[in-house]
Amino acid sequence: MTDVTLYHWEPNANSGKPMLALFEKGVAFDSHYLDLLNFDQHKPDYLAVNPLGTIPAMKHGDLVLTESTAIMEYVDEAFDGPRLMPADPVDQWRTRWWMKFMDQWLAPSFSMIGWSVFVGPSVRQKDPAELEAAIDRIPMPERRVAWRKAINGAFSPEEMAESQRRVGLGIGYLEEALGQRLWLASDSYGLADINGFNLAYAIPLSQPHLCNDELTPNIMRWLRAIYARPATRACWALGRTDLARRISLLESEPA
């Protein structure tokens, strides 16, 4: 028993951010796995924790926290262990800039692609009436729209093309930044890297024509360096599906 409970899905995207931060800090926590593909995040038990019905959420004693990036900052400040926010104020600014850029520009584009090729097809075969009822339980109107589109394969060609455009540009921006510094936002491993890894660990598999040893050597170096960390191994061991298992591609040797 610990006084920290994390409600999460796979170590991936938003769930993986506080998970990996907790592992890096060496904070023991009770893992409460929610199956996103089974709509666990919209069930009453979880809505009592996070009324918005999105994952992750964390309890620390009586305190409840949401918003994965803000949770990471809290984890870094509230617990002992290695500092994950750099000490220099400019590096702190850069850390937050990158996290916002990824959270609000790059990650949503990856999500749209991921939901259209993976999440939608994974739930589509369920009973239509059951799916309709599940969608009606979603608290946020924006998310009801996204789920409907994913299930019906209804993302428009224009919005998919825009997402793919952003993914292509974003990979270029990451490569450029990682060509300037050892880590994404500073010279030490930190929150921006944890955030970025959760977004990017599988890009060499999902976007092989854009991200590989030849085209993006700095991204590949960075992903392998993060994969080599014991905290990353321990974190991804909590994965239960092929989504998280994609991480094993980072066992490959640099070409």
Partner 1 sequence: MTGILYHGQPNGPSFTVLAAAFEKGVDLDLRAIDLVAGERHSTALPHPLEVDQSIEGEGPVLVVDGVAMTDSVFLACYLDELGSGPAIRPADPYARWQMMAWCRYVIERVAPAAAALGNAAAPPLGVPAGIASADLEGRWKNAVEGKADDSQLADSRTKIVQAVEKVEAQLADGRDWLMGDFTIADLESHAWLAGMRGIVPEAFASAPLTDAWGARLRARPAVARALGLATIAHPETIWAPGPEINRWG
- 90 contacts which partner out of ligand GSH, partner 1, none, CB within 5 to 8 A by kind? partner 1
* The Cα angle at residue 48 between residues 133 and 148, in degrees rounded to 5: 30
What character string, x for contact with partner 1 (CB under 8 A) and - otherwise, covers 112-141? Answer: x---------------------------x-
Kindly tell me the number of DSSP H helices and DSSP E strands found in the chain: 14, 4
Which residues within the stretch 54-113 sit at the binding site for ligand GSH (CB under 6 A)? 54-56, 67-69
Q: Which two tokens stand for residue 91?
A: 């590096």
- 94 contacts which partner out of partner 1, ligand GSH, none, CB within 5 to 8 A by kind? partner 1
Q: Which is nearer to ligand GSH, 216 or 239 (CB)?
A: 239
Residues 65, 70, 119, 248, CA torsion sign? negative
Q: Is 161 in the site for partner 1 (CB under 8 A)?
A: no
Residues 108, 114, 115, 116, CA torsion sign? positive
Residue 26 zone, left/alpha/beta (φ > 0; ψ -120 to 50; rest): left
Rounded-to-integer distance, Cα 122 and Cα 116, Å: 10
> Of 8-16, 150-158, 167-175, 219-227, which segment contacts ligand GSH by CB under 6 A?
8-16
Q: At what angle do helices 107-114 and 157-180 cross, to 10 degrees?
A: 130
Q: Which is nearer to partner 1, 15 or 69 (CB)?
A: 69
Minimal distance, residue 29 CB to ligand GSH, in Å: 16
Q: Tell me if 58 sits within 8 A of 65, measured CB to CB.
A: yes
Q: Which is nearer to partner 1, 104 or 152 (CB)?
A: 104
Rounded-to-integer distance, Cα 56 and Cα 59, Å: 10
Binding site for ligand GSH (CB under 6 A): 13-15, 36, 41, 54-56, 67-69, 143
Binding site for partner 1 (CB under 8 A): 60, 63, 65-67, 69-71, 73-74, 77-78, 89-90, 92-94, 96-97, 100-101, 104-105, 108-109, 111-112, 140, 142-143, 145-146, 159, 162, 165-166, 173, 176-177
